[in-house]
Chains A and B, each alone.
Chain A
Amino acid sequence: MELDIRNLTKTFGSTAALHGVDLKVASGELLALLGPSGSGKTTLLRCVAGLEIPSGGQILFGGEDASLKSVQERQIGFVFQHYALFKHLTIADNISYGLRVRPRRSRPSAAVIRDKVEELLSLIQLPGYGGRYPSQLSGGQRQRVALARALAVEPRVLLLDEPFGALDAKVRKELRLWLREFHDRTGHTTLFVTHDQEEALDLADRVVVMSEGRIEQEGSPEDIYDRPATPFVFDFIGESVRLDIRVDKGRPFVGQQEVSIPKLPPLLFDGPAKLYVRPEHVAFRRDGEGLWATVVSLHRSGSSRRIGFRADGTDVVIEALTPADREPPRIGDRAALEIRAAGLFSG
């Protein structure tokens, strides 16, 4: 089932949570809504679910307008950050809840429900757990049960709100891999919200980066990481330093030195600009061509070492990342920097 979100707005009182969001989700796609807290990603998800009423715009499920439909009519599966399992019901009763609350006419028989529960329990790799209660399960197991419960009603779209947010780092990674595999097997159109970029880039077919109720960029994880489209995405995704530079006759200058940056589109403006550079895109040599700078700091972090360089005649500090086993320069050493990739924005 494909989703089409058109010019969706949502205001809470006088604060706007969504400013006209347009988004298309292809059938069977696994899409991540990524952004810091307050970016509107959860509001967007809850609007799709029908748990929030949008202030304007449309949401189409498979070409059919669902904006005015109730939560129940939308036939979505929703997974909450804190699982929201019914603690007074067994795992089997939790999973079958959505089937058992159907009106008598459309309710499957007890035998069909039982088979469905067994099938889902083995799908989430918890066979034989049907008789237990949620409190007897670990966090990761509970979230898998929550997923099975959402899938039992055969939803048209699966919506996950920070599904791994309440789990510890190790379980989170395991479950992430598991969900990717699970999605590849079952192929539900899936939207999931996260503030963890690693999770989004690792798991999703496509990532939508949001900030302050707007979509900043949408694209494949590679697009988002390698070709950030806006200063916000550069800041939010991965690591980068921001350099205040100047563009003169279409050429970028750091202090008095011109820097050459490959793959940069032609610069159609002059004046102050911001250059975003990732540490792994900075190389340094002791001689030759490049941006001349002085080593001002050295930090060891895990398997790599980060070296701070101050560009000659400026206060601008650029960081470079090198393997820790490589002989580091000393503070005060001079080097020529090569910037292999960067983003440049006017202003």
Chain B
Amino acid sequence: MSDSSVALAVSLEEEPAAGSVVARPPRRRLPTEEAPWVRRLLIALAVGFLALFLLLPLITVFMEAFRKGGGAFMEAFADPAALDAIILTLAVAVIAVPANLVFGIAAAWAIAKFEFRGKAFLVTLIDLPFSVSPVVAGLVYVLLYANHGLFGGLLQSAGIQIIFALPGIVLATIFVTFPFIARELIPLMEELGNTDEEAALTLGASGWRMFWTVTLPNVKWALLYGVLLCNARAMGEFGAVSVVSGHIRGYTNTMPLHIEILYNEYQFVAAFAVASLLAALALVTLGIKSWLEHRYASDLAAGHRH
């Protein structure tokens, strides 16, 4: 294989020499191109880093999960606490993601379509969950809604339990995942402007009708992209949920919390088995995300990427 390619290269080299004397122009680099060794070094550095810090841990999760065979792996899910954790995680996502879908569309609509005072502040506020530690978010909810908290007395007298219960976990998750959908929609909606909506109105469509037939189809791929990221984060959130949940096994334990408990109890196979489920979710999310980006690149917002 390598011999024949060398022979081919040689014969090609010889050809110009048979005719006139052609001086091969020296290969020159573009001004923006690095030297080959710099390129190789940069690529090696990036690949090495990714392999060491991202790929290797991911493989380890699956290896640890299956270390004692498929039977031990399945056993982890036979534990009713694990099942409860999975169901709770799904329930939280089922509530938090649609809530953020509605809030995200509303916020993006307000920011992209209207001019009002305090708009810049609202945009900054939407980004707050990105910049604040999730633990802080959890603590704030405890401060507000726990029995000794600001609204604690009021809620207690009404018989509503928020902290150490499902509502608290949902609230903390909504807080942490709020920016994903809004952030995806705002640049796209700003770029699209109002003209399509105006066209629909002049054709007699009601505002509601216009939203469903024009606005939503225009942003649907960006919206799906945002929902996907929002869902992945909602299912994987640890910090904020950990503070408000109270770790009541079989009641307020989500998958990430359940994994931590198993790990602390030295049940490594079970911990990694549940972790592998979360990791698989991440891989599926990544796959769909890449497919969306590849397929609908032009329909997704140009400016902003996570």
Contacts and interface: CB of A to CB of B under 8 A. Distances in A.
B214 interface: yes
Interface in B98-149: none
B201 to A, nearest CB: 5
Contacts of A87: 218
B217 A86 contact: yes
B200 A51 contact: no
A134 to B, nearest CB: 11
Nearest to A135: B298
B209 interface: yes
A98 B209 CA distance: 11
Interface in A90-149: 97-98, 101-102, 149
A77 B202 contact: yes
B interface secondary structure, majority:
helix
Contacts of B204: 72, 75, 98, 101-102, 153
Contact of B202 (A78, A82, A102): A78
Contacts of B213: 86, 97, 101
Interface string A273-297: 0000000000000000000000000
A69 to B, nearest CB: 12
Contacts, number: 57
Interface in B242-270: none
Nearest to B209: A101
B203 interface: yes
Interface size bracket, B side: 10 to 19
B203 A153 contact: yes
A89 to B, nearest CB: 8
Interface residues of A, number: 23
Given A86-B217, A101-B206, A101-B209, A80 B198 contact: yes
B199 A71 contact: no
B207 to A, nearest CB: 9
A71 B206 contact: no
A331 interface: no
Nearest to B196: A84
A97 B204 CA distance: 9
Interface of A: 49, 51, 71-72, 75-78, 80, 82, 84-88, 97-98, 101-102, 149-150, 152-153
17 contacts: A51-B198, A71-B198, A76-B202, A77-B202, A80-B199, A84-B198, A84-B199, A86-B213, A86-B214, A86-B217, A88-B218, A97-B203, A101-B203, A101-B206, A101-B209, A102-B204, A153-B203
Interface of B: 195-196, 198-206, 209, 213-214, 217-218
